[in-house]
């Protein structure tokens, strides 16, 4: 880095601004992510340009495009900044009884339901902390982690996580067939195919993995309803012949809530239900985030899901 400034004369506080600009491609959004005003972020960009003797970012329409110099700087500085962040976080003590931070957790709706008892217990031990649950799925989790909008993600995390993100299997389970307590069960294959089914799909799909599994053995079912979220299952299934195939974790939660539901083993071979927990690499050694992750893993992991 021949054009780099003398480190003794360089304001290291500019580096998080540089990383935010690389991530957001916008002065406004970069400032918002760092809780800086737009003038303060613009001033920091001007100082970065002067320090590195390069424009660093060139406006292209509404976005800022990084120069080759900026791309190289991120490649060289990224790992060092990650290590520094982890070292600083690891030296910051966390006392649940007095701390007042906000934990940002992104998850699918079924895991959000599963989180509620965990958060109630965490709230008792950390009465001044707050817990923000963000709607997230395999498609949005990578960007939410990369932007710092969430620190922890629960669900199917996919393969496109940020390079510095960490993950592990949270729970490895199966599926159950939800039905009303008052309706016949458990269901054999003929009964399962004859009963009307409801499926949970935010996009309104009326087919899923169960249909694929049935097709492999030459059978089919009738899906008569699709709903956008799991919270609607109980009022729809209760006192009706409808059934719905859900993860065993969600089935346990809904049955424990005494909503008039029962659950049986599916009469068709289903793929495993695997959930993950992922987190930002910069928070890997943060004592508070470690405390929160440990509580989630302890309460939500099944025996076969432990790493």
For the chain, domain boundaries? 7-90, 102-173+274-305, 175-271
- CB burial of residue 158 (10 Å; 0-12, 13-18, 19+): middle
What kind of fold does domain 7-90 have according to CATH? Arc Repressor Mutant, subunit A (1.10.10)
The whole-angstrom separation of Cα 92 and Cα 90 is 6
Residue 1: per-residue pLDDT: 42
Average the pLDDT over each of 21-25, 33-37, 73-77, 257-261 and give the range with the smallest value: 33-37
CATH class of 102-173+274-305: alpha beta
User: Mean pLDDT score of the chain, rounded to an integer?
Assistant: 86
Judged against a pLDDT cut of 50, whether residue 304 lies above it is answered with no
Residue (of 158, 115, 123) closest to 297 by Cα position = 115
Domains 7-90 and 175-271 share a fold: no
For residue 86, what pLDDT is reported? 59
Q: Residue 279, SS3?
A: strand
Residues 307, 277: contact at Cβ < 8 Å?
no
DSSP conformation letters of 170-214 = EEEE-EEEEEETTS--S--HHHHHHSEEEEE-TT-----HHHHHH
Task: Quote the CA–CA distance of 253 and 246 in Å, as a whole number.
Answer: 11
Q: Using the predicted structure, report yes or no on whether residue 307 has a pLDDT greater than 60.
A: no
- pTM to 2 decimal places: 0.66
**What is the pLDDT confidence band of residue 110, given thresholds at 50, 70 and 90?**
confident
| Average pLDDT over every residue of 65-75 | 89
pLDDT of residue 7: 59
At 32 the pLDDT is: 77
pLDDT at 33 over 60: yes
The model's confidence at residue 109, banded by pLDDT at 50, 70 and 90, is confident
Q: Under CATH, domain 175-271 is a member of which superfamily? A: Periplasmic binding protein-like II (3.40.190.10)
Question: Mean pLDDT over residues 35-44, rounded?
Answer: 85
Question: Is residue 4 over pLDDT 70?
Answer: no
Where is average pLDDT lowest: 83-97, 135-149, 183-197?
A: 83-97
Please give the average per-residue pLDDT across 29-55, as a whole number: 86
Indicate whether 187 pLDDT > 90: yes
Residue 3: what pLDDT?
Answer: 47
Most confident of the ranges 1-5, 37-41, 177-181, 230-234:
177-181
């Amino acid at each position: 880095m021949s054009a780099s400034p003398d480190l003794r004369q360089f304001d290291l506080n500019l580096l998080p601004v540089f990383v935010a600009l690389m991530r957001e491609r916008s002065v406004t959004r970069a400032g918002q992510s760092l809780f800086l005003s737009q003038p303060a972020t613009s001033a920091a960009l001007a100082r970065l340009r002067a320090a590195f003797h390069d424009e660093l970012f060139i406006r292209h329409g509404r976005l800022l495009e990084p120069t080759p110099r900026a791309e190289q700087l991120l490649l060289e500085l990224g790992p060092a900044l990650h290590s520094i962040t982890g070292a600083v976080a690891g030296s910051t003590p966390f006392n649940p009884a007095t701390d007042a931070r906000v934990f940002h957790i992104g998850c699918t709706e079924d895991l959000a339901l599963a989180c509620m008892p965990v958060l109630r217990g965490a709230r008792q031990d950390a009465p001044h902390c707050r817990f923000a649950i963000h709607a997230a799925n395999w498609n949005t989790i990578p960007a939410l982690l990369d932007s710092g909008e969430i620190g922890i993600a629960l669900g199917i995390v996919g393969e496109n996580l940020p390079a510095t993100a960490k993950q592990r299997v949270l729970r490895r389970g199966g599926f159950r067939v939800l039905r009303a307590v008052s309706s016949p069960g458990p269901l054999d294959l003929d009964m399962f195919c004859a009963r009307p089914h409801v499926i949970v799909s935010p996009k309104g799909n009326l087919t899923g993995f169960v249909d694929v599994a049935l097709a492999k053995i030459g059978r089919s079912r009738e899906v008569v309803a699709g709903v956008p979220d799991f919270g609607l299952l109980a009022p729809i299934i209760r006192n009706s012949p409808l059934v719905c195939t859900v993860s065993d974790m969600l089935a346990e939660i809904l049955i424990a809530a005494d909503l008039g539901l029962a659950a049986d083993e599916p009469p068709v071979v289903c793929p495993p239900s695997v959930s993950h927990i992922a987190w930002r690499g910069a928070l890997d050694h943060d004592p508070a985030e470690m405390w929160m992750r440990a509580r989630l893993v302890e309460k939500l992991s099944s025996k076969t899901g432990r790493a």
